Structure 1
Amino acid sequence: MNIALIGDSLTEGRPGIPFSRLLKEQFPGFRFDNLGKGGDTVLSLYARLSKKKLPSPYDLTFLWIGVNDVYTKMLNAQAQIPAKDEKEFEEVYKKCVEIILASSKQVVLVTPALIGEHADNQANKQLRALSSIILSTAENHPKLLCLDLHTIFKNHLAHTTSSDYISVKVTRIMADALFYRKPSRIEELSKKRGLHLTLDGVHLNSLGAQIAASEYAQLIETENKKTAL
């Protein structure tokens, strides 16, 4: 199978643990194109997709975008412009989906996971609103599937106690990406910050990456069985 992974730094895998690496290990005969780009919002992703066609037709594409449309507004500096409101997010998100559908047999829409590991904080409430838009976009469309990672991560956190740590300084995020690359170092820092699924409240640690990879893998296996029939 030819599979595209489209998204932001969570898909790119920096900072934190790249879940795409786990997928490549699990499916060595499959081709994975990691098209994640750190900092992408739905607006910057749409600009990127509009300027350059996807490199090849794909059997399956995952679209994981949206966290930066909330998270960017919390940072002390903005690299990309976020959607100004839910209406703009929905309009531009659907344009991204249409572009991707033209180059993929099946597309999985993934809801944004977390901003902070307190699931009911204000940022996560905003992510839930974006998740609802994403879920509704996939309804009754034969080529669209949904993966609700936001709810999956929230359910995992219901059984743990995490701190409310969220990195909001861009220099801190860049330092994490530069100096914390080994899984052991990432786990050490995540634990020091009192976090369970993430390095910094957003980007994935080993457990977070394992959960994401496992959920992606289930859909990959299902779609692969369909193509084999």
Structure 2
Amino acid sequence: MAQYLFLGDSLTAGNLGCSFVEVLKKEPQMAEHSLINAGVNGFTMEGIRLKMAATLKESSQPEKMILGGGANDILLPYMQSMGPEWDPFIRKLKRHGSVPADNAQAFRETVKMTLSKAFDMKIPEILFCTIPCLGEDLSSSLNRQRQEYNRIIKECCNHFNGAIFDCRCLDWGLIFENELRPSQPGSSYLFRTPEDLGKDSQRLETEGEEVLCQERNLMLTIDGAHLNSAGARLAAQTMLPELLS
């Protein structure tokens, strides 16, 4: 039996929308394996780096660690610039050391430090997932920035892979773009406030995801970022062979 440790933000945590980790757990090939979900809502790449160190000290050594992060390094500054609604949430994250990178170069350094820490803690294999989408309109400024940060993730993985340890990249960004591209221009819907997330959680329970997605013309997410069942299946199906290789 292999142990897989999942570290990331709300996409990994999976408590809003559909969880790709839970989809993976239902796959027959994963029945004998242990999947540990250590995702935390709102965490930035720096928060994930700190969470990784703490988690690895508290748990047994996983055979593979799956990393997913970077979305909040882009989203949190963007959301905060639109009004003060996010201030309490961001202050809470900062108390845990989860601060957004100031720019692309700072993000690059944080990714490098995260991978260096994984190597220092003797993790044999890393699978690093790029950011799927930030809204389903691929021409948006947020998605252009996402593409830049995804290039950084891929470059860092290539730098570490082989020469140092097994560090592969699963390019969810490209996979989701290929799925969304035929329907472009895609929906511009993206959640804006913490209250939006709370309302969506209630509506998912009472109305179901199909209502939200049809209302917002969304294909792979419930709100532009968090996965619906189709997005979670796509994420899990593309990850499964990487986990078993």
Counterpart of 2:82? Answer: none
Q: Give distance in 2, aligned partners of 1:15 and 1:49.
A: 22
CA contact (8 A) 2:7 2:52 kept: no
Q: Give distance in 2, aligned partners of 1:217 and 1:52.
A: 23
Deviation of the 1:178 alpha carbon: 4.5
Deviation of the 1:42 alpha carbon: 1.0
Match of 2:111 among 87, 93, 106: 93
Q: Once structures 1 and 2 are overlaid, which stretch shifts more, 71-80 or 211-220?
A: 71-80
Cα distance change on mapping 1:60 and 1:203 into 2, 3 Å: same
Counterpart of 2:50? Answer: 47
More helix by share: 2
In the TM superposition, 1:111-190 aligns within 5 A as 111-140=130-159, 141-142=161-162, 143-161=166-184, 162-181=186-205, 185-190=208-213
Q: Once structures 1 and 2 are overlaid, which stretch shifts more, 71-80 or 132-141?
A: 71-80
**Aligned partner of 1:151: which letter?**
L
Is residue 81 of structure 2 the alignment partner of residue 77 of structure 1?
no
Counterpart of 2:22? Answer: 21
| SS, match of residue 61 in structure 1 | strand
Deviation of the 1:163 alpha carbon: 1.6
**Aligned partner of 2:116: which letter?**
E
The Cα RMSD (Å) is 1.7
| SS, match of residue 36 in structure 2 | strand
Question: What's the CA shift string for 1:191-215, capped at 9, x where partnerless?
Answer: 2111001000000001100000011
Q: Give distance in 1, aligned partners of 2:158 and 2:187.
A: 35
Cα distance change on mapping 1:153 and 1:69 into 2, 3 Å: same
TM-score (norm 1): 0.90
Deviation of the 1:52 alpha carbon: 4.6
Q: Give distance in 2, aligned partners of 1:97 and 1:176.
A: 34
Counterpart of 1:68? Answer: 72
Kindly report structure 1 stretches of 4+ aligned residues shifted beyond 4 Å. none
Counterpart of 1:105? Answer: 124
Question: What's the CA shift string for 1:22-79, capped at 9, x where partnerless?
Answer: 1111111110000100000012222323445352211111100001111112224142
Q: Give distance in 1, aligned partners of 2:220 and 2:232.
A: 8
Q: Give distance in 2, aligned partners of 1:42 and 1:30.
A: 27
Q: What stretches of structure 1 of length at least 5 have no aligned partner? A: 223-229
Q: Once structures 1 and 2 are overlaid, which stretch shifts more, 211-220 or 54-63?
A: 54-63
CA contact (8 A) 1:74 1:168 kept: no
Is residue 199 of structure 2 the alignment partner of residue 199 of structure 1?
no
CA contact (8 A) 1:160 1:196 kept: no
Question: What's the CA shift string for 1:8-31, capped at 9, x where partnerless?
Answer: 000000211001111111111110
**Aligned partner of 1:67: which letter?**
A
Q: Give distance in 1, aligned partners of 2:122 and 2:232.
A: 27
Q: Give distance in 2, aligned partners of 1:49 and 1:22.
A: 23
Counterpart of 1:217? Answer: 240
Is residue 30 of structure 2 the alignment partner of residue 36 of structure 1?
no
| SS, match of residue 84 in structure 1 | coil
